[in-house]
């Protein structure tokens, strides 16, 4: 066992417990428009989860069709924007974000090899509209930072109203674990653009990308 474990340590990009999380992939798509770099965003269709919100192209990793997370980024971008795979150049992996709601998001940076969005054939079931923002605008823009609370409690209810309880009392754990035992503050980022508010995980990815580019 020890020898196999040590060989496995070469994969230092592992995320412990990843199999328990939902895996998603997004592409941060750049376009070169009118002699400057723009970032492309999409507004999600109103009838889907998180409808009306601004996001990057992306979706769930599917091991049955995707060999790599990069494949997911390309596949989802093609499906949502209605462009050809050859119109996309993935430049590299920006990083992996472990979200507190139980999801792991791998973000890739790439380029759409088109001059404008007029040739897109949007999947209207998923995408209401697309727009671009000059990348340098985010450098000048104020990133608003807010705090939200994440509560840890042994008592929750599922979608049917059934209570799912962690048996802290029966296990003889200290009394502090028998009720809500922690409330951690989580930073929430937000950018205000002319096209709408960009917030949540999308804003967090933008903020991280800007920090990386400024080093």
Q: Which domain holds residue 96?
A: 19-148+182-213
Evaluate whether residue 157 is within a structural domain.
no
CA distance 77 to 66: 13
**Would you say residue 117 lies in a domain?**
yes
CB under 8 Å to 9, separation ≥6 — which residues?
none
CA gap 70, 140 in Å, rounded: 30
Largest Cα–Cα distance in the chain?
Answer: 66
Answer yes or no: is 58 within a domain. yes
Q: How many domains is the chain built from? A: 1
Separation of alpha carbons 197 and 186, rounded Å: 19
28 in any annotated domain: yes
CATH number of domain containing 112: 3.90.79.10
Query: Does 8 map to a domain?
Result: no
What is the CB neighbour count within 10 angstroms for residue 179?
11
Question: Does residue 175 fall inside a structural domain?
Answer: no
Q: What is the pTM assigned to this prediction?
A: 0.86
Question: Would you write out the chain's pLDDT as a tens digit for each of its 215 residues?
Answer: 756 666 767 666 778 888 888 899 999 999 999 999 999 999 998 887 766 789 999 999 999 999 999 999 999 999 999 999 999 999 999 999 998 878 899 999 999 999 999 999 999 999 999 999 999 999 999 999 999 888 888 877 777 878 778 888 888 888 888 888 777 788 999 999 999 999 999 999 999 999 998 87
Residue 158 resides in a domain: no
Tell me: the pLDDT tens digits for 102-126?
Answer: 889 999 999 999 999 999 999 999 9
φ, ψ of residue 127 in degrees (nearest 5):
-125, 125
């Amino acid at each position: 066992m020890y020898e196999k474990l040590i060989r496995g340590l070469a994969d230092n990009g592992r995320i412990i417990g990843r199999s328990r999380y939902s895996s998603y992939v997004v592409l941060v798509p750049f376009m070169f428009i009118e002699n400057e770099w723009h970032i492309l965003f999409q507004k999600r269709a109103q009838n889907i989860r998180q409808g009306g919100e601004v996001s990057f192209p992306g979706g769930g990793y599917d091991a049955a069709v995707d060999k790599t997370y990069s494949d997911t980024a390309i596949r989802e971008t093609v499906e949502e924007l209605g462009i050809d795979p050859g119109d996309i150049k993935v430049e590299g992996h920006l990083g992996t974000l472990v979200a507190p709601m139980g999801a792991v998001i791998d973000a890739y940076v790439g380029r759409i090899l088109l001059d404008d969005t007029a040739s897109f054939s949007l999947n209207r079931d998923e995408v209401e509209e697309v727009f671009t923002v000059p990348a340098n605008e985010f450098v000048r823009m104020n990133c608003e930072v807010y705090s939200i609370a994440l509560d840890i409690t042994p008592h929750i209810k599922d979608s049917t109203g059934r209570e799912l309880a962690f048996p802290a009392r029966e296990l003889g754990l200290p009394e502090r674990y028998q009720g809500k035992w922690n409330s951690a503050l989580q930073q929430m980022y937000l950018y205000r653009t002319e096209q709408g508010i960009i917030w949540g995980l999308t804003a967090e990815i933008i903020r991280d990308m800007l920090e990386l580019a400024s080093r």
